[in-house]
Amino acid sequence: AQTGPLSGRHVLITAGPTWEPIDPVRYIANRSSGKQGFAIAAAAAEAGARVTLVAGPVHLPTPPGVDRVDVESALQMAEAVRGALPADIAVMVAAVADWRVAQAADQKLKKRGSALPALQLIENPDILASVATGPSRPPLVIGFAAETQDVIRYATEKRKRKGADWIIANDVSGDVMGGDVNAVHIVRADDVISLPEMPKEDVARALVERFADALPR
């Protein structure tokens, strides 16, 4: 094992989008490159942690020293996260689809004249909230919030609603999605720390440093 501020710790990270099948060839997804979550996994491994990265479908290489579990749907992601607990830190960065198709078709849906398929959606489990309120709750549970307005206010509400310790909020009204830089606000119970815009790798290292400081010894 590596030495570093997180050595001896297990860090569980979700990243990327989820794909919710409609039929064997179609899906509903969120827009997410997975870059920020993968960068956090890399930084946590560099800091000496054992890292489990539960990844939705993305085109990114596995960072050195990271155990990766590939999933597609939110239900699969929830299952993989349950299986990876316990952890010292959970960082839920994935852009999980809020809904899935109630009954995905076994065969490809065909165009039938002018009749349109009606998709019935049902809600996906909230993985962050389940981890934060579950029996094996890690000592530090962190969520993300991508917002296009009132970033800090929404993140503050989200922190309470989901039972997370911190919410890392970013304004995605600009070029953050799929881009290489990010500016985040760390929303905690008693304060908000705003970091300047930097490459996603530097954001990851800055966050990981703070995770290590916040853990009970």
SS3 call for 186: strand
Q: Is 132 exposed, middle or buried (0-12, 13-18, 19+ CB in 10 A)?
A: buried
Single out the segment in contact with ligand C5P by CB under 6 A; choices: 52-60, 88-96, 114-122, 205-213.
88-96
If one asks whether residue 92 binds ligand C5P (CB under 6 A), the answer comes out as yes
- Total number of residues that touch ligand C5P (CB under 6 A): 14
Pick between residue 62 and residue 130 the one whose CB is nearest to ligand C5P.
Answer: 130
From residue 13 to residue 52, the character string flagging contacts with ligand C5P as x (rule: CB under 6 A) and all else as - is -x--------------------------------------
How far is residue 167's CA from residue 8's CA, in Å, rounded to a whole number? 24
How far is residue 189's CA from residue 121's CA, in Å, rounded to a whole number? 34
Q: Are 73 and 21 in contact (CB under 8 A)?
A: yes
Pick between residue 12 and residue 48 the one whose CB is nearest to ligand C5P.
Answer: 12
If one asks whether residue 124 binds ligand C5P (CB under 6 A), the answer comes out as yes
Q: In the complex, what is the shortest distance from the CB of residue 134 to ligand C5P, in angstroms, rounded to a whole number?
A: 12
Residue 83: both structure tokens together: 């299986």
Give the chain's length.
217
Phi, psi of 183 (to 5 degrees): -125, 120
If one asks whether residue 56 binds ligand C5P (CB under 6 A), the answer comes out as no
Residue 74: both structure tokens together: 């939110």
If one asks whether residue 145 binds ligand C5P (CB under 6 A), the answer comes out as yes
- In the annotated binding site for CTP, the residues are 98, 108, 125-128, 144, 158, 162
Q: Which amino acid is at 148?
A: T
Catalytic annotation present for 30: yes
Residues that bind ligand C5P (CB under 6 A): 14, 74, 92-94, 96, 124, 126-128, 143-145, 158
Q: Which residues are catalytic, by number?
A: 30
